Amino acid sequence: MQVYNLVLEITRKCNLRCAHCLRGPAQRLSMSREVLNEVLSNFDYISSVTFTGGEPSLAPEVIEEFLTDIRMRGITVGYFYVVSNGQSHNRYKRFLRALSELYEWCDEKDSCCLEVSQDQFHPGLDWRSKRQFENEWGDDLPFFYPKHRTNYIPEPINEGNALKNGVGYQEPDPQKPWRMHEDSIEEETLYISANGNVTSCCDMSFKRIDTEHKGNVLKANLRDIVESFCVKESTEEEAA
């Protein structure tokens, strides 16, 4: 199959406890090689892959395994997108190396992007005023845009910690059926959680992902899961 918007929740670990976090409390769980293998065995083309969490920089080994698998399978990848909280830790350099290697594999290098969260819920982070952050994280990386996400968040999504802390306003989007055209999953999100659960929406808490998912890749074939919750688009020949 081909997929245009693959989102991999590579970890549920996090080194912050943000009041607005839609995921809810962090968990000591990262995506296993078994889950990743079950997902990638279905694809020969990935237009866009997003690595999310949790804090994705805490699980560089999953990105390394992703790269190993797509190389082995010859899977074409257009570009990647990642947002980090920007906190320095003992694994972030490995994280950057993994993204740098993936960048070299991607076809659409100009679209590859690593951003850093900068909003009212992340006060006092060291990247704001210290050159050390740019030196350590590598401000010369062609895909690194630390100043992109500088927006105030007026209406946090009312999920997870935001719901618990009473700071959420915007209701999350409901899951919508995937659209398939021949062997392609079109623009809708294909979200795979760290434990293998599959949803069609990113803006869900860990708890809701685990209770409202459409299937689990360790228990059913991913294509079967997608086809059980999708609208198939007719080909021109079928329409005729």
Q: What is the pTM of this model?
A: 0.91
Structure token pair of residue 231: 């609208």
| Span 203-232, average pLDDT | 95
pLDDT (0 to 100) of residue 240: 45
In the chain, the domains with their CATH numbers are 2-239 (3.20.20.70)
Q: What are phi and psi of 116, to 5 degrees?
A: -120, 130
* 130/160: higher pLDDT: 160
Res. 7: pLDDT tops 70? yes
Phi, psi of 48 (to 5 degrees): -140, 130
3-state secondary structure of 199: strand
| Contact predicate 97/104, CB 8 Å | no
Mean pLDDT (whole number) for 75-93? 90
Give the ranges where the chain is alpha helix by DSSP (H). 33-40, 60-73, 92-105, 131-137, 160-165, 206-212, 222-227, 236-239
More confident residue, 87 or 51: 51
Mean pLDDT of the chain: 89
C-alpha to C-alpha distance for 27 and 188, rounded to whole angstroms: 27
* pLDDT score of 138: 59
DSSP structure class, residue 172: P
Beta strand residue intervals within 4-91, DSSP E: 6-9, 45-52, 76-84
Q: Give the per-residue pLDDT at 194.
A: 98
Tell me: the pLDDT tens digits for 13-66? 999 999 999 999 999 999 999 999 999 999 999 999 999 999 999 999 999 999
Whether the predicted pLDDT of 132 surpasses 80:
no
Confidence check: pLDDT of 203 > 50 = yes
Q: Which residue has the higher pLDDT, 152 or 188?
A: 188
Give the SS3 label for residue 211.
Answer: helix
SS3 78: strand
Collapsing DSSP to helix, strand or coil, 114 comes out as: strand
pLDDT at 236 over 80: no
